[in-house]
A and B are shown apart, each in its own frame.
Chain A
Amino acid sequence: EDKVVQSPLSLVVHEGDTVTLNCSYEVTNFRSLLWYKQEKKAPTFLFMLTSSGIEKKSGRLSSILDKKELFSILNITATQTGDSAVYLCAVGRLDAGGTSYGKLTFGQGTILTVHP
């Protein structure tokens, strides 16, 4: 059974701190790993990673994938109160026949709270 585990489950920091969120996975026929940010409503897409060791970066957020050790990290530097959200990690896979219907397995999420 596919498994995606995120840690920590919750994190409280102050503005300006740097945080690292972790996502480990056990998925048959791995295809991609995605990070989403969820603020009260719909999850919004942050990054998709498919290759090991390549860093994806957008402003203060960055993410890297280690396909050998089966994990990814999401870094947020100089945190702001607007970064408070649930961060979701999801893994996409291929079916037994090698096709992909884009199905994702999600982790439980990490609740990040940034205090002023």
Chain B
Amino acid sequence: NAGVTQTPKFRVLKTGQSMTLLCAQDMNHEYMYWYRQDPGMGLRLIHYSVGEGTTAKGEVPDGYNVSRLKKQNFLLGLESAAPSQTSVYFCASKWRGLADTQYFGPGTRLTVL
């Protein structure tokens, strides 16, 4: 049982390049989330999904797109990376029940030059 996994672990991009971050979970969770974590700012929600084929915007969605084609996977895309997107990205998932407990992946450290 791997829980929540993220690939890649590290990536360096040049301004204007694109990339996709992959999140996978094997807990059969319905809800999945993408966050970014910057120094002194805690975790901020980018996009989330409440089920296969559905996505919604979070607090800081600009410059990102997401897709949830399969229940276990949640992809985060950067179409044209900017230095302001340098951050650590975390994926999380949770069951659809009453508890708000989210389970996090190990994170992806992204640097945009």
Q: Give A contacts to B, CB under 8 Å.
A: 4, 9, 31-32, 34, 36, 41-45, 48, 88, 90, 92, 100-109
Within the complex, which residue of B4, B40, B100, B106 is in contact with A104, where a contact is CB–CB below 8 Å? Answer: B100
In the complex, identify which listed stretch (B11-19, B42-50, B64-72, B78-86) lies at the interface while the others stay far away.
B42-50
Cβ contact within 8 Å between B90 and A43: yes
Number of A-B contacts (CB under 8 A): 59
Q: Give B contacts to A, CB under 8 Å.
A: 4, 31, 33, 35, 40-45, 48, 50, 56, 58-59, 90, 94, 99-107
Nearest residue (CB) in B for A89 is B42
Cβ contact within 8 Å between B107 and A103: no
Report Cα–Cα, A43/B50, bound state, in Å: 21
Cβ contact within 8 Å between B42 and A109: yes
Within the complex, which residue of B31, B43, B59, B103 is in contact with A45, where a contact is CB–CB below 8 Å? Answer: B103
Told that A34-B100, A102-B33 touch, could you supply 19 new A-B pairs with CB distance under 8 A?
A: A34-B101, A42-B90, A42-B105, A42-B107, A48-B100, A88-B42, A88-B43, A92-B100, A100-B100, A101-B31, A101-B48, A102-B102, A104-B45, A104-B100, A106-B42, A106-B43, A106-B44, A108-B40, A108-B42
Report Cα–Cα, A100/B105, bound state, in Å: 22
Report Cα–Cα, A42/B33, bound state, in Å: 14
Within the complex, which residue of A9, A41, A102, A103 is in contact with B106, where a contact is CB–CB below 8 Å? Answer: A41
Cβ contact within 8 Å between B45 and A48: no
Closest 6 CB pairs of A and B: A92-B100, A106-B42, A42-B104, A106-B43, A32-B100, A108-B42
Cβ contact within 8 Å between A107 and B42: yes
